[in-house]
Amino acid sequence: MSFTRQLSEMSASELNDAIDDTNFPQAHILSRGRNNSVCSTSSTSGTSSLADRAQTQPQPEDAAELPATPAEEVAPSTPATPATGNQRPRLILKMNGSSPDSDGTQPKTPMTPRTSTTPGHEKCTFHHDLELDHKPPTREALLPDMARSYRLLLGGLGENPDRQGLIKTPERAAKAMLFFTKGYDQSLEDVLNGAVFDEDHDEMVVVKDIEMFSMCEHHLVPFYGKVSIGYLPCNKILGLSKLARIVEIFSRRLQVQERLTKQIAVAVTQAVQPAGVAVVVEGVHMCMVMRGVQKINSKTVTSTMLGVFRDDPKTREEFLNLVNSK
């Protein structure tokens, strides 16, 4: 299971438990000279990258025969490996004790035929016994079943699905839902597409008011708003449009705003390993506007602060001032 897929299935509380950002520099050693106080402090922080930590752990002889560990179970912390050189501080995700994305240096699970009786695969949602690796069908292949479901829904509402205005509604609604949730087909690696650049820049980068549309997973109605992202680079910067595309990956899914905010912050951290990431999301939820309390002017604001933005009040204040400025 890819890192992005695991990330999409974790709740906000599970993401919070999986984040260990103690390797970021603490507030008492920060100064405006970030080049000396932030990016270089990782050499004494006693932390290592996910790949380094995974290599220090014993690997099972036959990974295919071991039961899969649920994504929400957090692996126990491993002893820190002293870092050397000018290694950038990184956000460590404790996800099953292994690196979220293999870079080719880690042993891979043998591509052997699997069935629903193979240990660890009893709960697989999609399984093709004759394939080497089980994969879900393409999303377009789901359209007929989804259209039939919408047709049943129309009938359940007391409508006539065969009347002129509704004949093609089930198919249109199914295609619309696939578009609303197209983020399930996207991964962080595909979206970045190599747009990570080496650059000697250590000052704050902020992209604000990124439009966001998502679907509330509790009521299947939209919520929308804007996202502001800031990060402090450590010799690597990200193409500006990629920040907006990261928002699209996670917003175009069934979501809750709290989890969406944290997923964006973690994804930016995975992309460029900055000294810190800050994300603020302001949303209007139609489940509060069209139904329930029906408060049409209410807005929900959530934030995630990682690294320097969490530890240093001045850095956090600078970001919030930039976000709130007109």
Please calculate the CA angle 229-233-239 and round it to the nearest 5 degrees.
65
Determine whether 6 is an active site residue. Answer: no
Instruction: Verify whether residue 28 is a known catalytic residue.
Output: no
Question: Which entry of 57, 140, 218, 317 is annotated as an active-site residue?
Answer: 218
Look up 257 and say whether it is catalytic: yes
Report strand pairing: 300-307 vs 276-285.
Answer: antiparallel
Q: Which of 216, 234, 273, 282 is catalytic?
A: 216
Give 10-76 as a 3 state SS string. Answer: CCHHHHHHHEECCCCCCHHHCCCCHHHHCCCHHHHCCCCCHHHHHHCCCCCCCHHHCCCCCCCCCCC
Q: How many residues does the chain have?
A: 326
Select which of 121, 127, 128, 219 is catalytic: 219
Tell which phi-psi region holds residue 155, choosing left (phi > 0), alpha (psi between -120 and 50) or beta: alpha
Token look-up 């989804």 returns 146
Q: In what order do the strands lie in the sheet with 205-216?
A: 254-255, 205-216, 222-232, 276-285, 300-307
DSSP-derived pairing of the beta strands 205-216 and 254-255: parallel
Which of 257, 263, 270, 273 does the annotation list as catalytic?
Answer: 257
* Known active-site residue 216: yes
Residue 285 is among the residues annotated as catalytic for this protein: yes
Given 263, 270, 282, 285, the catalytic residue: 285
Residue 313, SS3? helix
Catalytic residue numbers read 216-219, 257, 285, 287
